[in-house]
């Protein structure tokens, strides 16, 4: 059935207020494991000890199982205890219309994210950084510069500053905002001093 319009944050929000009711425990302990088990059996999934698949048919079955999981289970919204469902056409709409290749960063430090394939001869981009690991305030700048100085690194992923002006960045306090601002500014400064001011974060 044709969809009225593409899914966006506003349509998702509206469905989050009207979708089927469900408790979080039921979702976590019943819906998710039972549907996943059902789909594994339906598609006869067995990875046979391979890290990367050599069997294209089995890979397609996994894709179909994942698609069905999203279609049949939906997404649970923790604030409203409701399930947001998509139609099959709405999911295909997103699959058929992804963002094409795009640029991360600016100037000579910009890199382009391009579609790769299994066994592609081109290497992937490298987003170097602490990936959410805790980093002390006194070496935050230096730690991030150690990534920006590596030519293997294309963009930066940040660590989490443990204090800001000596205070812990407790969520929902002004120190949380200050920490977020300071992290970004220090990383941008670190990439600039490393000679890569246009590097994406």
Partner 1 sequence: MIASDSHEVSQLNELKIDLDAISVIAHYHGNSDILMDEQMPIYGGYAGGLEETAIIDVASSINAFVMSGASWHLDGPVHIRWGSTNTRETLAVAGWASAAISNHTDFMQGNQYYPCAGPCTEMCFLELAAQAITDSASGREILSGVAAAKGVITDKTTGMEARMMGEVARSAAGVDIAEINKILDKLVGSYENNYGNAPAGKTFQECYDVKTITPTDEHVKVYEGARKKLEGFGLVFK
CA distance 146 to 28: 40
CA–CA separation, 133 vs 110, rounded Å?
25
Which residue, 18 or 78, has its beta carbon nearer to partner 1?
Answer: 78
Closest alpha carbon to 127 in 107, 108, 102, 150? 150
| Interface residue with partner 1, options 1, 5, 21, 98 (CB under 8 A) | 98
Residue 35 CB burial class (10 angstroms; 0-12, 13-18, ≥19):
middle
Task: Give the separation between CA 10 and CA 16, rounded to whole angstroms.
Answer: 10
**Counting contacts by CB under 8 A, is residue 189 touching partner 1?**
no
Number of residues this chain uses to bind partner 1 (CB under 8 A): 102
Site for partner 1 in 163-182 (CB under 8 A): none
> Nearest 5°: CA angle at 114, between 113 and 117?
130
Which is closer to partner 1, CB of 122 or CB of 165?
122
Q: How far apart are CA 48 and CA 50, in angstroms?
A: 6
CB of 174 to partner 1, least distance (A): 18
Residue of the chain from 88, 108, 150, 177 that contacts partner 1 (CB under 8 A)? 150
Nearer to partner 1, 148 or 179 (CB): 148
Q: Which of 115, 166, 171, 172 binds partner 1 (CB under 8 A)?
A: 115
Among 26, 37, 89, 168, binds partner 1 (CB under 8 A): 37
Q: What is the CA radius of gyration of the chain?
A: 22
Question: By C-alpha distance, which of 54, 55, 52 is closest to 44?
Answer: 55
Min dist. Cβ of residue 176 to partner 1 (A): 13
**38 vs 175, which CB is nearer to partner 1?**
38
Decide: is 3 part of the binding site for partner 1 (CB under 8 A): no
Number of Cβ atoms within 10 Å of the Cβ of 74? 19
Q: Is 57 in the site for partner 1 (CB under 8 A)?
A: no
Reported residue count of the chain is: 201
What is the smallest separation between the CB atom of 151 and partner 1, expressed in angstroms? 8
Q: Is 104 in the site for partner 1 (CB under 8 A)?
A: yes
Residues 62-91 that bind partner 1 (CB under 8 A): 62-63, 65-67, 69-70, 73-80, 84, 86, 90-91
């Amino acid at each position: 059935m044709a969809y009225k319009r593409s899914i966006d944050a506003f349509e998702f929000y509206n469905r989050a207020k009207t979708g089927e009711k469900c408790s979080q425990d039921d979702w976590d302990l019943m819906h998710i494991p039972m549907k996943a088990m059902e789909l594994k059996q339906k598609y006869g999934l067995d990875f046979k000890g391979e890290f990367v698949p050599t069997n294209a048919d089995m890979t397609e079955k996994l894709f179909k199982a994942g698609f069905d999981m999203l279609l049949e289970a939906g997404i649970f919204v923790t604030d409203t205890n409701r399930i947001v469902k998509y139609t099959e056409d709405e999911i295909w709409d997103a699959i058929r219309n992804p963002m094409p290749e795009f640029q991360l960063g600016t100037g000579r430090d910009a890199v382009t994210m391009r579609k790769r394939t299994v066994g592609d001869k081109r290497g992937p981009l490298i987003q170097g950084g602490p990936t959410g690991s805790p980093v002390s305030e006194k070496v935050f700048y230096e730690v991030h510069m150690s990534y920006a100085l590596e030519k293997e690194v294309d963009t930066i992923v940040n660590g989490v500053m443990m204090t800001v002006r000596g205070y812990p960045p407790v969520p929902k306090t002004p120190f949380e905002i200050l920490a977020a601002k300071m992290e970004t500014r220090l990383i941008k400064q670190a990439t600039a001093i490393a000679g890569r001011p246009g590097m994406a974060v």
